[in-house]
Amino acid sequence: MIERTLPEIRRRRTRLIAILAGYLPCIITVDLGLKALGVDGDPFLPYLFVLFMVLFAVAGWRAAATRCPRCAELFCMTRSVMGIQVGNVWTSRCVHCGLSVHDDRQ
């Protein structure tokens, strides 16, 4: 179970970082590409922004919704504030039991 779940947690976090890091290069490439084709890209860029926000929200939710293979709690979500779960999707250890996301590599 740990051998399958910890790599999945790492993959989900990497996907989240890739979406975040890919936003600006994608916007710039699309804008420059459309300008090179003689097309005004300004009307399309807000749609591209919304697409990235949806992708980021889905990837963030998937990263946050991963359960720890040791304690079965949400790996990075700690508590509920007014009914909303809060946490840190960038944490490298389970916030409940301390299992490292790299423990399967030892």
Where do contacts with Zn ion occur on this chain (CB under 5 A)? 68, 70-71, 94, 96-97, 99
Q: Which residue number, 2 or 97, has a Cβ lying nearer to Zn ion?
A: 97
One-letter amino acid of 18: A
C-alpha span between 75 and 70 (Å, rounded): 10
Exposure string (b/e) for 46-80, b if CB count within 10 Å is 16 or more? eeeeeebeebeeebbebbbebebbbeeebbbbeee
How many whole angstroms separate alpha carbon 21 and alpha carbon 91? Answer: 18
Q: How far is the CB of 14 from Zn ion (least distance, A)?
A: 20
Using the minimum distance from each CB to Zn ion, give the nearer residue, 6 or 68.
68
Comparison of 19 and 77: residue with beta carbon closer to Zn ion: 77
Nearest distance in Å: CB 68, Zn ion: 3
Shortest approach of Zn ion to residue 74 CB, angstroms? 9
